[in-house]
Amino acid sequence: MTQAGNMSQQALDILQTIYGYDQFRGQQHEIVNTVIQGDDALVLMPTGGGKSLCYQVPSLVRSGTGIVVSPLIALMQDQVDALNALNLRAAFINSSMDFGEVASTEQALLSGDLDMLYVAPERLLMPRMLALLDAADIALFAIDEAHCVSQWGHDFRKEYMGLSILSERFPNVPRIALTATADERTRVEIANNLQLTKAAHFVSSFDRPNIRYTVGEPQNAKEAMLAFLDANHVDEAGIVYCLSRKKVEQTAQWLNDNGRNAVAYHAGLPASTRELNQKRFLREDALIVVATIAFGMGIDKPDVRFVVHLNLPKSIEAYYQETGRAGRDGLPSNAWMAYGLQDVINLRSMMAQSDADEQHKRVENQKLETMLGLAELTTCRRQSLLSYFGDVLDEPCGNCDNCLDPPQTWDATDASRKALSCVYRTGQRFGVTYLVDVLLGKSSERIERFGHDKQSTFGIGTDLSANDWRNLFRQLIARGLLTVDVDGHGSVMLTEESRPVLRGEQTLHFRKSSKGTGKGSHKSARKRAPININDSDQPLWEALRVLRKQISDMAGVPAYIVFNDNTLADMIALKPRNSGEMANVSGVGSHKLEQYGDEFLEVIREHS
């Protein structure tokens, strides 16, 4: 066997004996072989697709220590815990450690006693750290969350820009950059900024078929969310995203007041509180984290059953990455979003008032337009989402709200002309609430003072409700027929695109607004158990979960680091009778078999 074949077989042996999996998935094997042979790779793989194995296995096959660049301390801790549970020699160096701990880890690196070392980009670029790496035997560099290097990405971090030094300073060490979210423009910038233009590119399908996408515009988003959770996710972990810190705290308190176990997470909280809340989320079974987008990058918790957005994200990339934190274990999960007119106005105003240069503003506005298009879509959401990343889904997915409960549309041409005329005749100086009052003929001191009760558009909209008009204005803004002024008062103005409609040269068909709790919250997101366990096996399922929790509590690690839900389900399906049969369970490697096998076998025997 050639040396390359030898190393490839060694990689498969490691996968089976240490990780407990029979075969690599998708492109994993090709990626692993590329890096093992000393070549660079740029990997785009959806969350939950197994990116970490693509650098962990080569780190174990190649001589030396794998250096993993990771953006968050909590993520480092989580991944190191998981590797240590496999009896691998993993560590991190970050600001949470004292001098003695750092010195001890540095010595372990120099002595060749580490399989993998996790560092933040800021730490890696320090002269002391670079000098340490010069003196060490390095197997590879893995750059996780690589989209952070792109100014066109949604999580740009300037520290990542300095990582190009790795190709210059360590030309003979292979580098692998990995991300779950990057459109074509972002991919090009990742390759350029990290000097990976000659690297092999591996782009897996972005599809996450286990996630059900639902978008609605309920009148009361929090009540609609609670109805959705009651119907689908009782006693399950999830993430709720809000745009502002104030809304995060209010929503977390409201969920607790309504019988849910929820904590807040945003950058304004003390670091100790954020750390505690993130640790609780990783280790507790049914905790909800209400957060700004500051939370979640790289979160490895596999059993997040739902992600809720109570505000519209700024881009498709952000939406895809945040919803991708649900269902990393491949089991059925929900991505549920409520948004409204104010989201559109707020985001448009924020972007218009940002300090970014005009080129960045144009790009950001285009990303928002695309996100609005996804929200207002009447066809399959998954097809549109995947198309954005250059991925093709030939048939509608059958697992989004529009597929399961197709939206009704209506000819909104006449109503749109009334709305646009009202904007024009009132001087393009007022917000939507004022315009709706004029259309409905609601007289007030302010309307009379400006003389708008005498305008031809006063009272011409009584055929629609106030909420219908607000939805119409939202869709007109989303379509670019109206724009939001940057004066901070939310005034709406006509755009050039509105002229053909006003002149009667263009017809408009909009989706009918959903009523009550939001589109599809009951019909399209029915209650389902994430694991398909027979009724007769439910006692065994619960007993295995209890044992897992006891072991994880004693070890001080999240339960899924002991065994994830899929592994427990495989134990139930196979019902192993001895260690030899337990070794055939997916996710049971040699070390975990030795550590936990007898205890889990005993529980299985008791219930057989």
pLDDT digits (tens, 9 = 90+) for 521-544: 333 343 344 567 888 999 999 999
Is residue 294 very low, low, confident or very high in pLDDT (cuts 50, 70, 90)?
A: low
- Backbone φ and ψ for 282, nearest 5 degrees, come out as -70, -30
pLDDT digits (tens, 9 = 90+) for 305-332: 999 999 999 889 889 989 999 999 889 9
Average pLDDT taken over every residue of the chain: 90
pLDDT digits (tens, 9 = 90+) for 333-349: 999 999 988 887 887 77
- Backbone φ and ψ for 131, nearest 5 degrees, come out as -65, -40
Long-range pairs, 250-253, Cβ under 8 A, ≥24: 251/222, 251/290, 251/310, 252/288, 252/290
Distance CA 115, CA 5 (A): 22
Say whether pLDDT at 363 is over 50: yes
Please provide the DSSP assignment of 74-124 as one string. Answer: HHHHHHHHHHHTTT--EEEE-TTS-HHHHHHHHHHHHTT--SEEEE-HHHH
Distance CA 387, CA 394 (A): 10
Is residue 350 very low, low, confident or very high in pLDDT (cuts 50, 70, 90)?
A: confident
pLDDT value of residue 1: 61
Those residues whose C-beta lies under 8 Å from the C-beta of residue 322, and which sit 6 or more positions away, are 239, 241, 293, 296, 307, 309, 313
Cβ atoms < 10 Å from Cβ of 411: 11
Strand 482-484, strand 492-494: pairing: antiparallel
The answer to whether the beta carbons of residues 56 and 14 sit under 8 Å apart is: no
Distance CA 209, CA 497 (A): 37
What is the rounded average pLDDT of the residues 261-287?
90
pLDDT digits (tens, 9 = 90+) for 202-227: 999 889 999 999 999 898 999 999 99
Distance CA 253, CA 61 (A): 49
The answer to whether the beta carbons of residues 394 and 376 sit under 8 Å apart is: no
Distance CA 526, CA 520 (A): 9
SS3 letters for 504-555?
CCCCCEEECCCCCCCCCCCCCCCCCCCCCCCHHHHHHHHHHHHHHHHHHHHH
Where is 432: in which H helix or E strand? helix 432-439
Those residues whose C-beta lies under 8 Å from the C-beta of residue 37, and which sit 6 or more positions away, are 4, 7
pLDDT value of residue 529: 47
Those residues whose C-beta lies under 8 Å from the C-beta of residue 183, and which sit 6 or more positions away, are 152, 316, 317, 388, 389, 390
| Burial grade of 424 (CB within 10 A; 0-12, 13-18, 19 or more) | middle
**C-alpha 535: how far from its chain's center?**
33
* Type of residue at 211: I
Distance CA 255, CA 233 (A): 13
Higher pLDDT, residue 426 or 511: 426
The answer to whether the beta carbons of residues 565 and 530 sit under 8 Å apart is: yes
Q: How many residues are present in the chain?
A: 608
The maximal CA–CA distance of the chain, rounded, in angstroms, is 90
Distance CA 344, CA 103 (A): 51
Q: Give the position of tokens 């509105």.
A: 498
pLDDT value of residue 525: 40
Say whether pLDDT at 153 is over 80: no
Long-range pairs, 493-497, Cβ under 8 A, ≥24: 493/423, 493/428, 494/420, 494/423, 494/424, 494/428
pLDDT value of residue 512: 84
Please provide the DSSP assignment of 161-177 as one string. Answer: GGGGHHHHH-TTS-EEE
* Type of residue at 433: T
Those residues whose C-beta lies under 8 Å from the C-beta of residue 444, and which sit 6 or more positions away, are 437
pLDDT digits (tens, 9 = 90+) for 76-114: 888 999 999 999 999 999 888 999 999 999 999 999 999
The answer to whether the beta carbons of residues 35 and 116 sit under 8 Å apart is: no
Cα–Cα nearest to 347, from 323, 375, 326, 325: 375
Higher pLDDT, residue 239 or 364: 239
pLDDT digits (tens, 9 = 90+) for 458-489: 999 999 999 899 989 989 988 889 987 755 56
Is residue 520 very low, low, confident or very high in pLDDT (cuts 50, 70, 90)?
A: very low
Please provide the DSSP assignment of 400-425 as one string. Answer: BHHHHSPPPEEE-HHHHHHHHHHHHH
Distances (CA, A) of 465 to 219, 343, 423, 539: 13, 20, 18, 53
Distance CA 517, CA 496 (A): 35
Q: Could you give the domains of the chain? A: 3-203 (3.40.50.300), 211-404 (3.40.50.300), 409-511 (1.10.10.10), 535-606 (1.10.150.80)
User: Model pTM?
Assistant: 0.84
Say whether pLDDT at 275 is over 70: yes
Distance CA 341, CA 347 (A): 10
| Burial grade of 203 (CB within 10 A; 0-12, 13-18, 19 or more) | middle
